[in-house]
């Protein structure tokens, strides 16, 4: 991505920290108290970094909610790296996780002007409902989804329908969610914010001021994409082959959680467990902040991780692997036409892509002048001041009253819900849920679900063949230049990418 592209994406290159909401020039903005609530690793990172872009007159606080998937302190320290002065202390001293009741009681005793509900779906629904029920003169409720949220998913709307504002990160996402919400009978309430991680950043430097050496190809691992163990083993095999072919590189499998830590999505087959004992020594598994890994990266590789947007914002070449096809369950449809699509042969060759201008502005790289989330949150707080903050209806139409609410709470919090009513609801509800699961399985046998629609894999070679240069040579010191790597693979392409035409 060129410097001009970054200027366009970043609102002319102006600093994004402390951006003021659009207010009359003769009015001093009123100090606003805004509390962020986070739980899992990805929601913690997103919530904290979104708040760090808020107007300077917002007084910010952040609390961690205790849930079965709450991020560890190490994950929180990683997630909170690089925040602005108002939240920078969190990287060294992340807040201890508090139970939902304790947090709602804090909000009841000292209501802020607004709350950012950056929580996994069922917990977000629970907290939003509890604030509505228990906090007089409630704060404005803002929520959203971290990372790439296209195609739109009904569960995202379902769990967060009662929030006043729902933050998304591209104009394409906003259109898709508005259409989905309208079809489901939910009044659209979506706002636009630049993805906090997709902002241009300066060149990295070491502590002694010397430039950091770029020597790494970073693979951004995801816990559930691809889902099958055999496919994940294939990915590790491609990375090992890349390490063998390029001994000058560190090939890093960047994981989001250490053993025993939780993630937003459950991981059945962690990549560290799949690395063979005879893997080359320059294939390594590491955790830590993605920003630190990108400081050393010559390229970023993934299936569909949001990290690819972080890389693109820095002008780092990237590759979204399409060997398993392109489809909704792979979360990679958004990258069609981006210029970043490739396959295992491209990876081993060291051939990476750059973002196409025509894709950028509708997909996460719009000018920051188009962001309206802070301005609309400000209006919510003004409505609260005036006593006219409107309550939005829930989508859920559950019967069962108090016992049903106890079940939903137990379902969201698991062992972190210690209420007697929750235990009763579990005794009654667990057999009912088990029966529903059996019924669903029977239905799937009788009437199998539709096979996911997959687009065919694509590659940087195909893009090059259509007249577009797609080499990572500029970043890698020419590793993909010289007309060689692809030709040298030759008949080994079939070995690297077995079954490419199966989809």
**The dihedral formed by the CA atoms of 139, 192, 151 and 459, expressed in degrees to the nearest 10:** -140
Output the tens digit of pLDDT for each of the chain's 503 residues.
444 443 444 444 444 444 444 445 556 789 999 999 999 999 999 999 999 999 999 999 999 999 988 999 999 999 999 999 999 999 999 999 999 999 999 999 999 999 999 999 999 999 999 999 999 999 999 999 998 999 999 999 999 999 999 999 999 999 999 999 999 999 999 999 999 888 765 555 454 556 779 999 999 999 889 989 999 999 999 999 999 999 999 999 999 755 554 445 455 789 999 999 999 999 999 998 899 999 999 999 999 999 999 999 999 999 999 999 999 889 999 999 999 999 999 999 999 999 999 999 999 999 999 999 999 999 999 999 999 999 999 998 766 677 777 777 777 887 877 786 766 666 676 776 666 676 777 776 777 666 566 788 999 988 765 433 334 443 433 333 333 333 334 344 444 443 333 33
Q: What are the CA-CA distances from residue 141 to residues 20, 116, 290 (Å)?
A: 20, 6, 29
Q: What does pTM read for this prediction?
A: 0.80
| Those residues with Cβ within 8 angstroms of residue 445's Cβ, 6 or more apart along the chain or in another chain | none
**The dihedral formed by the CA atoms of 177, 181, 184 and 185, expressed in degrees to the nearest 10:** -170
Gap between the Cα atoms of 38 and 81, Å rounded: 15
Gap between the Cα atoms of 152 and 183, Å rounded: 12
């Amino acid at each position: 991505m060129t410097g001009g592209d970054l200027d366009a994406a970043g609102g002319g290159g102006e600093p994004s920290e402390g951006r003021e909401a659009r207010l009359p020039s003769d009015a001093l903005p009123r100090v606003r108290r805004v509390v962020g609530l986070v739980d899992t690793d990805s929601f913690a990172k997103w919530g904290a970094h979104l708040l760090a872009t808020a107007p300077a007159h917002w007084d910010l606080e952040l609390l961690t909610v205790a849930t079965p998937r709450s991020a560890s302190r190490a994950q929180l320290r990683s997630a909170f790296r690089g925040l602005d002065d108002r939240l920078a202390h969190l990287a060294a001293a992340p807040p201890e996780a508090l139970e939902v009741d304790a947090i709602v009681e804090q909000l009841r005793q000292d209501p802020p002007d607004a709350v950012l509900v950056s929580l996994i779906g069922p917990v977000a629904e629970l907290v939003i409902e509890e604030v509505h029920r228990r906090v007089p003169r409630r704060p404005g409720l803002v929520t959203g989804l971290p990372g790439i949220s296209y195609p739109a998913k009904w569960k995202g709307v379902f769990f967060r329908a009662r929030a006043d504002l729902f933050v998304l990160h591209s104009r394409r996402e906003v259109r898709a969610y508005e259409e989905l919400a309208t079809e489901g009978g939910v009044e659209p309430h979506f706002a636009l914010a630049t993805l906090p991680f997709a902002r241009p950043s300066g060149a990295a430097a070491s502590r002694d001021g010397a430039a950091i050496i770029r020597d790494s190809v970073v693979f951004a691992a995801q816990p559930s994409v691809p889902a099958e163990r055999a496919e994940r083993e294939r990915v590790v095999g491609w990375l090992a082959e890349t390490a063998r072919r390029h001994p000058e590189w560190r090939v890093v499998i960047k994981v989001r959680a250490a053993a025993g830590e939780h993630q937003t999505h459950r991981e059945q087959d962690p990549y560290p467990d799949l690395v063979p004992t005879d893997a080359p020594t320059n294939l390594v598994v590491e955790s830590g902040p993605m920003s630190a890994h990108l400081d050393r990266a010559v390229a970023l590789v993934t299936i569909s991780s949001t990290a690819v947007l972080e890389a693109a914002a820095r002008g780092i070449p990237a590759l979204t692997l399409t060997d398993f096809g392109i489809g909704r369950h792979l979360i990679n449809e958004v990258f069609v036409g981006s210029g970043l699509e490739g396959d295992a042969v491209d990876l081993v060759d060291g051939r990476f892509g750059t973002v196409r201008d025509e894709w950028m502005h509708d997909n996460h790289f719009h000018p920051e002048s188009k962001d309206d989330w802070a301005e609309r949150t400000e209006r919510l707080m003004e409505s609260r001041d005036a006593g006219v903050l409107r309550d939005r209806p829930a989508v859920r139409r559950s019967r069962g009253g108090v016992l049903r609410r106890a079940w939903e709470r137990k379902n969201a919090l698991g062992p972190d819900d210690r209420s007697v009513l929750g235990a009763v609801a579990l005794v009654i509800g667990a057999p009912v849920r088990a029966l529903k699961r059996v019924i669903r399985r029977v239905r799937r046998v009788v009437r199998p679900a539709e096979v996911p629609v997959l687009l065919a894999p694509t590659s940087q070679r195909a893009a090059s063949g259509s007249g577009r240069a797609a080499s990572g040579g500029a970043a890698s010191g020419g590793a993909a230049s010289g007309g060689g790597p692809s030709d040298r693979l030759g008949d080994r392409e079939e070995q690297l990418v077995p079954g490419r035409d199966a989809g």
